[in-house]
Amino acid sequence: MSEARSMSMIEAINDALDIMMERDPDVVVMGEDVGYFGGVFRATAGLQKKYGKTRVFDTPISECGIIGVAVGMGAYGLRPVPEIQFADYIYPGLDQLVSEAARLRYRSAGQFIAPMTVRTPFGGGIFGGQTHSQSPEAMFTHVAGLKTVIPSTPHDAKGLLIAAIEDNDPVIFFEPKRLYNGPFSGHYDEPAVPWARHPDSLVPAGHYRVPLGQARIVREGEAVTVLAYGTMVHVAREVAERQGIDAEVIDLRTLVPLDINAIVKSVNKTGKCLIVHEATRTGGFGAELSALVQERCFHALEAPIERVTGFDTPYPHSLEWAYFPGPVRIGEAFDRLLSV
């Protein structure tokens, strides 16, 4: 493999876009403020200058329009990578995603496809209030025909984004904005740590894929399996390490398609399962995971499956850290599992 260098998640995403635009003239990047300005989080910085305005361009403020034209571009044969500035703003585009992009292959029996990758920052931890903090992934995993991808490291962000862009199905690529510039322990009162000192910030040069549907074992363990994705991978691992718990932490990386084998293998080994996500609890993806584990690992389970999630309220501004599923909530779930 060619030389690797340390990058932030933003830099890794930018690198993936750069590589795919270089390799494939059908890849176009569009969204609000992504052109000259390079995106409000800088994910598309420099791309317009390099690839020109007809491949990297700003759009009107219309998520419905952004997703809708991406469907049309896909029908022509392009591979659009639209950005929705915040996942909280994706809803006006929902009809185009749910009724159109997700079902186009099915309803046309393969005559038309929608090979788009919708990139969108999600999750809290930056005092964004209820319209800049949501984790709506379960709304998309519920839709047949969409793939849902969530990286947790710069290395995976690049490899997963490349795999998503090369995929012929529509992919929703949720970027945990709290992780853009560094991993997160969950201890918000401790100084922020940049990616530079984290081993998973080492990003190989050039093209590589992290296949969709393949989870990553972040930390091997025997006592309990932790299923997490995005920001919560780091928080859960930190809790396990600080409490000295022999946890096996699995970063799911893609929710649909899901690496069910990795989950079953681990839970059958540990006999215990903790599911962690930042999204609201009711109808969250944790419910799906819990059902799957129960269906497939019932006889191996030694304790009830635990779910640690955000509360079923909108994301509050001032009480952000009381809402966030942090070390206390996760730590006590570990304690309950291990006391059985």
Partner 1 sequence: MTDGNLPKLTLHVPEPRYRPGDVVDYSSLAIPLAGAQPRPDETCAADVTHPLCLDMIRVLGDDDRAHGPWNPGLDTATLIRMLRLMALTRAFDGRMVRAQRQGKTSFYMKCSGEEATSIATAMALASDDMVFPSYRQQGIFITRGTPMTEMVNQIFSNRADTLKGRQLPIMYSARDQSIFSISGNLATQYPQAVGWAMASAIKGDSRIATAFLGEGSSAEGDFHSAMTFAAVYNAPVVFNLVNNQWAISSFSGFAGSERTTFAARAIGYGIAGLRIDGNDPLAVFAAVRWAADRARANAGPTLIEHFTYRAEGHSTSDDPGQYRSTAEGTEWPLGDPVNRLMRHLIALGVWDADKHAAMDAEVDTEVRAAVRAAEANGTLGQGLHHPFRTMFEDVYETLPWHLVEQSEQAIHERRVKWPEWSDDADVDAQGGEAT
Residues that bind partner 1 (CB under 8 A): 32-33, 35-37, 40, 53-54, 57-65, 88-89, 91-92, 126-132, 188-189, 192, 281-282, 311-314, 316-319, 321-323, 326, 328-329, 332
Of the pair 196, 319, the CB lying nearest partner 1 is at 319
The amino acid present at 180, given as its one-letter code, is Y
Which residues in the chain belong to E strands, given as ranges?
Answer: 4-6, 27-31, 56-58, 79-83, 117-122, 147-149, 171-176, 202-204, 216-219, 224-228, 247-251, 254-256, 273-280, 306-310
Residue 339 neighbours by CB under 8 Å, 6+ apart: none
- The secondary structure of 114-156 as a DSSP string is ---EEEEEE--SS--GGGS----HHHHHTSTT-EEE---SHHH
Q: Which of 236, 305, 241 is nearest to 271 (CA)?
A: 305
Q: How far is the CB of 32 from partner 1 (least distance, A)?
A: 7
What is the closest distance, in whole angstroms, from the C-beta atom of residue 303 to partner 1 in the complex? 18
**How many whole angstroms separate alpha carbon 338 and alpha carbon 1?**
41
**CB closer to partner 1, 281 vs 296:** 281
Identify whether 132 is a catalytic site residue: yes
Smallest CA-to-CA distance from 16 within 44, 53, 54 is with: 44
- Count how many Cα atoms sit within 13 Å of the Cα of residue 216 in the half-sphere of its side chain: 22
Tell me phi and psi for residue 84, to 5 degrees. -105, 120
- For 83, the 3-state DSSP assignment is strand
Q: Which residue number, 23 or 42, has a Cβ lying nearer to partner 1?
A: 42
Instruction: Answer whether 286's CB lies under 8 Å from 319's CB.
Output: no
For the CB of residue 53, give the shortest distance to partner 1 in the complex, in Å: 4
CB of 283 to partner 1, least distance (A): 11
| Of residues 40 and 260, the one with the C-beta less far from partner 1 | 40
Distance in Å from the first CA to the final CA of the chain: 45
Nearest approach in angstroms of CB 301 to partner 1 is 23
Of 132, 155, 234, 277, which is the active-site residue?
A: 132
Q: Measured from the CB atom, is 92 or 206 closer to partner 1?
A: 92
Q: Which is nearer to partner 1, 40 or 223 (CB)?
A: 40
Distance (Å, whole) CA 223 – CA 127: 35
Nearer to partner 1, 59 or 266 (CB): 59
Q: Smallest distance, Å, CB 59 to partner 1?
A: 7
Q: Following CA atoms 93, 257, 233, 318 in sequence, which dihedral angle do they give, to the nearest 10 degrees?
A: 20
CB 308 within 8 A of CB 280: no
Residues annotated as catalytic are 132
